[in-house]
Amino acid sequence: MSNVRSDKPFILAGRTFQSRLLVGTGKYRDMEETRLATEASGAEIVTVAVRRTNLGQNAGEPNLLDVLSPDKYTILPNTAGCFDATEAVRTCRLARELLDGRKSHESRTLVKLEVLADQKTLFPNVIETLKAAEVLVKEGFDVMVYTSDDPIIARQLAEAGCIAVMPLAGLIGTGLGICNPYNLQIILEESKVPVLVDAGVGTASDATIAMEMGCEAVLMNSAIAHAQQPILMAEAMKHAIVAGRMAYLAGRMPKKLYASASSPLAGLIK
């Protein structure tokens, strides 16, 4: 059948990953819960807020890298808490220095760029994001970029050299799910780089829907860390991502307005 989808590997910065779930490392009760939830998620990529997490810059404090080893996980530093391009670029440079020697050379330049507009919405400032992306790409960083669900901005970020665009499903930490599936669908249809949903996921069905739409992967933190049982939710998300990807590849049945019998009506025994 010509419309059958065949799966393709999930590749970022030249590396192939088996898991299509990326998880954050903040908001957990303690380091042990962070470790257990991350393990339960099956994630291979974990994102770390450089400005809020000790990666060795604060001597004497617990170091996240002692719990989530770079030998086991790809550490994805992010610029959470940055509100302009200059600050975001500086944070990425700091992350590269902190992780030098703790990560392989191949993954040392992978960063998640997010430049926020304000504290209330944590909506991306797309103008400052574009500025930062252009600088970071020129400096050799592999930039995964958090952005709005505006298809034009997503296109411009990809054209600027970002290796993946990460439109929000909903505002960070809200758990509202995919608020604008139509814009996301346009981004998916047009994008020449991987599209990952970032922010807004609240439960497993949200993650599944994102994958069914054709997203390459989903990144989440609050949906797991703020669950009543984070470790159990992390495992649920692992299965949700797999189920959504399989459903996308399988192709759903067409929607119909009226009923259609499962068994044919023709040839009924009289």
pLDDT digits over 23-32, tens only? 999 999 999 9
Q: Which residue has the higher pLDDT, 6 or 28?
A: 28
Q: What is the mean pLDDT of residues 100-105?
A: 54
Q: How far is CA 23 from CA 5, 49, 73, 223, in A?
A: 27, 12, 11, 10
Q: What is the mean pLDDT of residues 207-227?
A: 97
Place of tokens 């970032």: 198
Q: What is the mean pLDDT of residues 213-233?
A: 97
99 — pLDDT class (breaks 50, 70, 90): confident
Q: How far is CA 48 from CA 24, 25, 182, 260, 269, in A?
A: 6, 6, 30, 50, 65
* pLDDT at residue 85 is higher than 70: yes
- Helix, strand or coil, per DSSP, at residue 184: helix
Per the residue annotation, which of 8, 27, 72, 112 is the catalytic one? 112
pLDDT of 1 reads: 46
Contacts of 234 (CB under 8 A, 6+ apart): 23, 37, 38, 40, 41, 224
* pLDDT at residue 265 is higher than 90: no
Q: Which residue has the higher pLDDT, 106 or 105?
A: 106
Q: What is the mean pLDDT of residues 94-107?
A: 68
Instruction: Indicate if 120 belongs to the active site.
Output: no
Give the residue ranges of DSSP H helices in the chain.
31-41, 85-99, 126-138, 151-159, 181-190, 204-213, 222-225, 230-250
| Average confidence score pLDDT of the chain | 92
- Give the least confident one: 65-74, 150-159, 206-215: 65-74
pLDDT of 98 reads: 83
**pTM score, whole prediction:** 0.90
- Helix, strand or coil, per DSSP, at residue 219: strand
* pLDDT at residue 216 is higher than 50: yes
* pLDDT at residue 58 is higher than 80: no
Q: How far is CA 16 from CA 13, 44, 99, 100, 149, in A?
A: 9, 10, 21, 21, 26
* pLDDT at residue 104 is higher than 50: no
pLDDT of 204 reads: 98
**96 Rama sector, left if φ>0, alpha if ψ -120 to 50, beta otherwise:** alpha
> Strands 217-220 and 196-198, how do they pair?
parallel
108 — pLDDT class (breaks 50, 70, 90): low
